[in-house]
Amino acid sequence: MKQIEFLLNGNPICVENPTPDCTLLDWLRETRNLTGTKEGCNEGDCGACTIMVTDRDGTRALNSCILFLPQLHGKAVRTVEGLRGPEGETHPVQDAMVAHHGSQCGFCTPGFVMSMATAQHCGQEADDDTLAGNLCRCTGYAPIIRAAKDVGQTPSPAWMADDLSLLQQNAIESDTVARPKSSDALATWYEKHPTATLIGGATDVGLWVTKQLRDLGSIAFLNGALDLKEIHKTENGLQIGAAATMTDVLNAVKPLYPSFAEMLRRFASLQIRNAATLGGNIANGSPIGDSPPALIALGASLHLRKGQTRRTILLEDFFLEYGKQDRAPGEFVEAITIPHQPDALRCYKLSKRFDQDISAICGCFSILIAEGRVSAARIAFGGMAGTPCRATHVENALLNQPWNAETIATAKAAFTKDYTPLSDMRASAEYRIMSAQNMLERYFSESMGLPTDIHEVSA
């Protein structure tokens, strides 16, 4: 890619021959001297580097530390320096942070302000969700939350509107860096470059650069392939493009499978969900990825493509063993389909922190009851093996049995036949087995109408 164009704080920018794995954070600080955007964790966890990005899909907060420059082509970027008005007016969020004493050392403040300004610009008032990806180690969150609530009803200043028509968007691609505009174009390019790195949101690949200092080689940025972002209902079910962000997936599944949506609300932070893609969460093959267990429990299918050849497999068959998936060189995930079905899904994520943390285990259950007996059961876990996988022995212990406490007790014993988990820094093997058994018990209790909300404590 020899040229990219975007708006920076309202001004057109053209970058010639951008280094494809140069992060926006580094470029802002080292090339533009815009040092208000801070480098904290440099892996998308702390939010000190939060910036605002606007494109055809709307405005959202993103972490600039794991956002590569070519991903910004055709978009508008605002940093904390770009919040001031044309006459030097301060942004209402900045005023609120001052009025409520929301800053001490100030290192994290620009990130908080950018998250709050983005939420205000979009009319979002879920402050706890908005700020879950911003960490403060000295002020305490109470004054920051008060500032966010105070500014919530204030309209976004007129000067915050960005005019994307100012961009010519004449990107010139090279042989080693591509930004395909469709899945067809991607299929053609990737078949010729089967060892290339595909980048959706860069929430995983970004760390390969910032933490592991890897050379990515040939790269294809997928955010320009608009058809890969589509989500729509078909005769077979809900089809989700591989490049759909986790934010868009959350919104799409919420009316159909609210428990899945609630788990996705805890998927990293808002900044990460705004960038991370469903296809990326699946294709990287992590044994602790949060979306595969839910999708496997729902019987989802995976659509794969290589050149003009397409094939569809059950998602559960995609994961072969740790670090190995059923995907040939030059083949990519094109879409995921969740079949039509009644909602019996419950997702339980166990992590050291409730929000924005990696799962120790993630259990997803879809159990249908007919005339008091189990007519169907699909149970899948992440964090219990080298891949996300089903609990087939537990399912068989439930099938055709009466839905009662005795059946649950028998089925719980079958977990040791399905899984031999490892002990690691997040949980011991014994704790994982016990927790998985307790999750089945929790599913049963919920089905009986018993209270199971872990946020409520009663004497």
> Per-residue pLDDT tens for 415-453?
999 999 999 999 999 999 999 999 999 999 999 999 888
Question: 183, 227 in Cβ contact below 8 A?
Answer: yes
d(CA 204, CA 340): 31
Mean pLDDT of 384-390: 97
Strand runs labelled E in 174-292: 177-178, 197-199, 219-221, 231-233, 237-241
Instruction: Identify the weakest region by mean pLDDT among 139-148, 162-171, 413-422.
Output: 162-171
d(CA 223, CA 275): 10
d(CA 100, CA 102): 5
Question: 375, 355 in Cβ contact below 8 A?
Answer: no
Q: What is the number of alpha carbons within 13 Å of residue 458 lying toward its C-beta?
A: 5
pLDDT at 172 > cutoff 70: no
One of 3.10.450.350, 1.10.10.60, 1.10.150.120, 3.40.50.11540 is the CATH number of 90-156, namely 1.10.150.120
pLDDT given for residue 166 in this prediction: 85
Question: 218, 190 in Cβ contact below 8 A?
Answer: no
Instruction: Identify the weakest region by mean pLDDT among 25-39, 113-127, 393-407.
Output: 113-127
What are the sequence ranges of the domains in the chain?
3-81+162-224, 90-156, 230-447
pLDDT given for residue 167 in this prediction: 84
What backbone torsions phi and psi does residue 58 show, to the nearest 5 degrees?
Answer: 120, -165
- Which residues, at least 6 apart from 284, have a Cβ–Cβ distance to it below 8 Å? 204
Angle among Cα 188, 193, 198 to the nearest 5 degrees reads 90
CATH 3.10.20.30 for domain 3-81+162-224, yes or no, is yes
**340 versus 154: which is more confidently predicted?**
340
Report how far apart, in Å, the C-alpha atoms of 167 and of each of 11, 71, 159 are. 10, 15, 18
State pLDDT tens for residues 297-310. Answer: 999 999 999 999 99
pLDDT at 457 > cutoff 70: no
- Percent of the chain at pLDDT > 70 equals 98
d(CA 413, CA 338): 30
Give, to the nearest 10 degrees, the angle between helix 258-265 and helix 246-253: 150
- In the block, tokens 């490892």 appear at 422
Mean pLDDT of 154-158: 92
pLDDT given for residue 453 in this prediction: 80
Mean pLDDT of 160-183: 83
pLDDT at 41 > cutoff 60: yes
What backbone torsions phi and psi does residue 172 show, to the nearest 5 degrees?
Answer: -115, 120
Mean pLDDT of 217-228: 95
Domains 90-156 and 230-447 equal at CATH topology level: no
pLDDT given for residue 315 in this prediction: 98
Closest CA to 327 of 309, 301, 307, 305: 305
One of 3.40.50.720, 3.30.390.50, 1.10.3470.10, 3.50.50.60 is the CATH number of 230-447, namely 3.30.390.50
Residue 155 structure tokens: 């309209």
Within 10 angstroms of residue 406's Cβ, the number of other Cβ atoms is: 9
State pLDDT tens for residues 299-340. Answer: 999 999 999 999 999 999 999 999 999 999 999 999 999 999
Within 10 angstroms of residue 214's Cβ, the number of other Cβ atoms is: 13
pLDDT at 216 > cutoff 70: yes
pLDDT given for residue 213 in this prediction: 94
d(CA 319, CA 323): 8
Tally of residues, the chain: 459
Mean pLDDT of the chain: 94
What backbone torsions phi and psi does residue 278 show, to the nearest 5 degrees?
Answer: -65, -40
Counting DSSP H helices and E strands in the chain, the numbers are: 16, 19
Q: What is the number of alpha carbons within 13 Å of residue 169 lying toward its C-beta?
A: 14
The region that residue 106 occupies, defined by phi over 0 for left and psi between -120 and 50 for alpha, beta otherwise, is left
pLDDT at 386 > cutoff 60: yes
Confidence of residue 455 (pLDDT cuts 50, 70, 90): confident
d(CA 390, CA 37): 43
* Residue 304, SS3 per DSSP: strand
d(CA 46, CA 25): 14
